Chains A and B, each alone.
Chain A
């Protein structure tokens, strides 16, 4: 997305081999109706029509999807209030798309270890995840000179965070199952 015609034009070139069929962009007059010119080094990054059709069809349901995610988030907020976890604070300027529901374990208030809670939830059939591993700690980035300790707030987050199931098709009963499993993990 952009409001700049110039950036949009450049990105249109880069997504498709740097090719243009627009005579105005060519270095000389077109050879004929078949003619195209490569004026940049671009890539083959185009979306297919099948993907476009699915995306277009889904756009109509975007708002109900996000609303359902907010309902689920409010339910989580209430259900988790009694557990030693930090629920995701929402800045008053924002209305989240709520792709993820991120909690942080309050490790000073539970004897359970982060990795153990995560493993327990997976054993219970809860497909929790962790978004994300701090990028600077990846071996490829450490080879560039980054090291653990460089971004302490991010690393503290990583040591406590868990992504709970969050999607528009998640049922309240499944969400209750998630919370019950988390309770067992944290308050054994």
Chain B
């Protein structure tokens, strides 16, 4: 069977994990902060916080942005369940924005039309979650400009996109977003298991 995705684990990776097993800390030690620092400096972001899954990261991102009952989160329908469920965990509500037919990412034109309608109904979203499907970044400049105009916050779901670039800069630098989430699931580009 040729799988659709698979991790690559080298002897150096194994040695690094075994070294931790033989160290004083299996949790809450010095290695997670080093990993966070490595990802932050790679991306050029001020802060990185490692958690046990991208689902958890989306959840705490919504909590930090104050999503709660009565708040709307909008995302793409072509994504994994967690990109939408994160708002429901916080008691918020979810709606979707249709995709662009060429990139399959959340379509900024459809977003703008929906925002104009939502403004009239007083149902503007608190948070929009653009998902970089397959690793290709969304049209972040356009989405960010809409965020400025309509007053929503942006969480990039970059679960597919570590190592990718937008306008020549690393995904994860949060130039056009409040928070960016990566995934290190074993089928992803690199992994934490």
Contacts and interface: CB of A to CB of B under 8 A. Distances in A.
A49 B136 contact: no
B60 A2 contact: no
Given A95-B166, A97-B132, A166-B5, 6 more contacts: A3-B46, A62-B163, A100-B133, A135-B83, A165-B2, A167-B4
Contacts, number: 317
A113 to B, nearest CB: 20
Interface stretch (A30-38, A77-85, A170-178): A170-178
Interface residues of A, number: 83
Contact of B5 (A15, A99, A141, A152): A99
A3 B26 contact: no
Contacts of B59: 14, 43, 45
Interface of A: 1-5, 7-8, 10-12, 14-15, 43, 45-59, 61-63, 65-66, 69, 88-91, 93-102, 125-129, 131-132, 134-138, 141, 144, 146, 150-154, 156-158, 161, 163-170, 174, 177-178
Contacts of A97: 132, 135-136, 158, 160-164, 171, 189
A45 to B, nearest CB: 4
Given A49-B29, A132-B80, A94 B165 contact: yes
B61 A11 contact: yes
17 contacts: A2-B180, A4-B178, A47-B35, A51-B193, A57-B13, A62-B190, A91-B139, A96-B137, A100-B5, A102-B133, A127-B3, A134-B78, A137-B77, A153-B99, A163-B4, A166-B4, A170-B2
The 8 A-B residue pairs whose C-beta atoms are closest, nearest first, are: A97-B135, A97-B164, A99-B160, A8-B47, A55-B192, A52-B32, A66-B163, A10-B64
Contacts of B189: 62, 65-66, 69, 97-99, 168
Interface string B44-58: 011111111100100
Q: Majority SS of interface residues in chain A?
A: mixed
Given A3-B45, A99-B135, A50 B96 contact: no
Contact of B31 (A45, A49, A59): A49
B24 to A, nearest CB: 10
Given A56-B38, A167-B8, A7 B1 contact: no
A58 B76 CA distance: 30
Nearest to B61: A11
A36 B100 CA distance: 48
Nearest to A55: B192
A59 B38 contact: yes
Contact of B163 (A63, A131, A144, A161): A63
A5 B174 CA distance: 13
Nearest to A92: B167
A40 to B, nearest CB: 8
A5 B47 contact: yes
Contact of A15 (B31, B56, B98, B181): B56
A13 to B, nearest CB: 9
B103 A52 contact: no
Residue among B2, B6, B25, B167 with most chain A CB within 10 A? B2
A46 B164 contact: no
Interface string B20-41: 1101011111011011001110
Contact of A50 (B17, B63, B97, B191): B17
A98 to B, nearest CB: 5
